[in-house]
Amino acid sequence: MRNKLFSVAVLLLTGMSAYGQNLTQYVDPRIGTGDHGHVFMGANVPFGMVNAGPTQLEEGWDWCSGYHESGKKIIGFGQMHLSGTGCGDLGSVALMPGYGDQELSREGLASAYSHDNEVTEPGYYAVLLEKFGIRAEVTATCRTAMYRFTFPKGSNNARITIDLENAVGGTARETRVVPVDEFTLMGYRRSNGWAADQRVFFCIRFNKPIHNWLCEDAEARYGEATFEVGPGDQIMAKVAISPTSEANALLNMNMENRFWDFEEVKKAADEAWNTQLARVQAKFRTERESRIFYTAMYHYMVAPQVWCDYTGDYMGSDLEIHRGADYETLTTWSLWDTYRAAHPLATIIMPDRMRSYAKTMMAIYKEHGELPVWHLVSNDTYCMVGEPGVSVLADIIMKDEMGDMNVEEAYNAIKASMLPTEFSPNRRVPLRGKDYLSELGYLPYDGRENETVAKSMEYYIASWAAAQVAGKLGHKEDSVRFYELSLNYKKLWDEKARCMRALDMQGNFRPLPANFNLNQQTHDYTEGNPFQYIFLVPHDVLGLADLMGGPKALDQRLDDLLAADSDLGDNHAPDISGLVGQYAHGNEPSHHVLYMYNYVDQPKKTQKWVRYVMNELYTDQPAGLCGNEDVGQMSAWYILSALGFYQVEPCGGTYQLGSPIVEEATIPLLGDKTFTIRTHGGSDKAIYVKKYVLNGKQLKRTYITHQEIMDGGTLDVYMSEK
């Protein structure tokens, strides 16, 4: 199989001059490298396996990707990095150029650098390493990185260190690196970290013969290749990685990066980014808005990442090698974050990728026993709560984007993931409280689990998604059962405290402390507090309104949230950020909240606050994100909101309308169709919508459907100042 990352995408965009549009000029990879954005810095192509770039000496929460704007020293250039996560990992198989004898340690390899001597572009990164005056450059294909190191003086002590010890968190367990000829090294690194059992195989090839190979033995954590160079000489290195074998790493290199033309690879990477960015062709009133939007598109397209060889071989969730998949196996599924906006956006702008999404999820189910939760390099980290993979797969099914896949089989995976004790009793994966869910309808605080309010609420969201699929397929009893389970959020509503609270095994609320404060997080909530978790009912907004006393009550409660004191008290999760009152845009459970005003006949409030967040909490500076990027979710919220709509319900394709900031945006669709959004009369003050007109007919509602978008046409939005 010719498993090329962009073949389908190029066909999709043929005839739309995608390569002629210089959209990468609007991308600034520095956005999100400051504050707590945690984004990747380096060279990659969209959804590529390789994220090649600098890993800094500094460590800590703000170095989850290995790089932060405040970092002062670089220890090497790793081939894999995360982007925007709240946990650190990867940074595997690092190269670091230098001269002479160096201490082989994290500190010994480190070199100072300056942002003034960095160049950051999509698919390309360059920096001057001040320790030796060496200029390091890197570009990438899907599975390979290409480096160009320019040495300032001649010496046969010029060297490149292969560092298999240091990375972004975790510990190396097994390593190997051996020369196979005078130009080529091969090896692997097995480590434990956030992903418990990581295995990456590699092949490194230099454009000059290795003068001397210095390594204690094949299993050493460091190796040093020395070269004879003259002043200004360049040593180039290609690094290919594989999840399955060294031989496949070599094959990946030969198929993707056979020659030594650095500029050609860099140009191809830029073209790949332009092709993918052109999935939304948008115009804005200001350069600032263009930079924010297309940098959001860039960050959004880092993941899910390819996790298979050119041949289709991949390492499965059973840690076994599977051969010749006919789809792109993917990893880096930050699903608790991305089911809310990133995946719904993908169903609109990249339906050609949905088969790979669904096939990967089904493969994980078959190999592991349930749909993915937070999948990373063949491991499930089980990070965060709920069953978000159910919502993602349900969304693909409900939008008829499964391709040639067996939908009933996919529904069985949903059932087995939601009710494992009934539908998958022999599974080998953790129950994570779902036995309580099946028995009691909620997770009790006096059982085995903590954060029980958050976990129960997320399970209710997934249950609603499961009910939609069951209904679509005609499984009436299942549909009723899952739907009724999804409404159990009402059991958690404490009328006295006016919020969702934890129950015990007998159905009694946790005793209410005398100093109870809605603004302060407790162990019953995940990265949030009681005030914020009131609104985590995206699947039944009107039902929540009834629970509160009607639409006016929900309207007032939303007003209260946005007007509240932003003090979170002590000991809150750092992820609760980007505060507007107690609305926390920097954390995903809040992302649908501003659109809830539409349900209570207050669309102008949605328009006001959505525009406020876009204008104030997204900027074109390094601290341009108000929270972790979370593998594309923060950016996906912005992209959808800039276009003027957002999917509140977890699946199915009902998009609530907001206040678009685009002047005009066109989304190429399958079948030579397009969907275009045009705004009329918009300005900094004209943020409110007088009317939405779809294909010449005024909408008398505050939503648009997935089918209406995919049918193609034009949405005209007429703006006003009030």
pLDDT in tens, 515-532: 899 999 999 999 999 999
3-state secondary structure of 498: coil
Coil, strand or helix at 227: strand
Question: Which part of the chain has CATH 2.70.98.10?
Answer: 7-277
Q: How far apart are CA 456 and CA 437, in angstroms?
A: 8
The SS3 of residue 656 is: strand
Q: What is the pLDDT of residue 422?
A: 81
In single-letter form, the type of residue at position 140 comes to A
The answer to whether 158 and 99 have CB atoms below 8 angstroms apart is yes
Q: Average of pLDDT values for 699-704?
A: 97
Do residues 94 and 67 touch, judged by C-beta distance below 8 A? Answer: no
The average pLDDT across 330-338 equals: 97
> Can you identify the CATH homologous superfamily of domain 387-718?
GH92 mannosidase domain (3.30.2080.10)
Class of domain 7-277: mainly beta
- pLDDT > 70? residue 225: yes
Q: How many percent of the chain have pLDDT more than 90? A: 89
481-489: average pLDDT:
98
Question: What is residue 120's predicted lDDT score, i.e. its pLDDT?
Answer: 97
Degrees to nearest 5, angle at CA 632 with 626 and 636: 80
Following DSSP, what letter does each residue of 321-337 receive, concatenated? EE---SS--EE-EEHHH
208 three-state secondary structure: coil
pLDDT at 412: 95
Q: How confident is the model at residue 20 (pLDDT cuts 50, 70, 90)?
A: low
Q: What is the pLDDT of residues 423-445, one digit of tens each?
A: 776 677 889 999 999 999 999 99
Give the pLDDT of residue 231.
87
> Residue 49 pLDDT > 90, yes or no?
yes
Q: Is the pLDDT of residue 350 over 90?
A: yes
CB 175 within 8 A of CB 220: yes
Average pLDDT over residues 411-429: 84
Residues of the chain with CATH 3.30.2080.10: 387-718
* Average predicted confidence (pLDDT) for the chain: 94
What pLDDT, on the 0 to 100 scale, is given for residue 426?
63
The pLDDT tens digits for 51-66 are 999 999 999 999 999 9
pLDDT at 55: 98
State yes or no: pLDDT of 3 exceeds 70.
no
Question: Cα 328 to chain center, whole Å?
Answer: 17
* Segments of 294-438 assigned E as strands: 305-306, 314-315, 321-322, 330-331, 333-334, 374-376, 379-380
Greatest distance between any 2 Cα atoms in the chain: 79
Where do we find the tokens 């969304």? 395
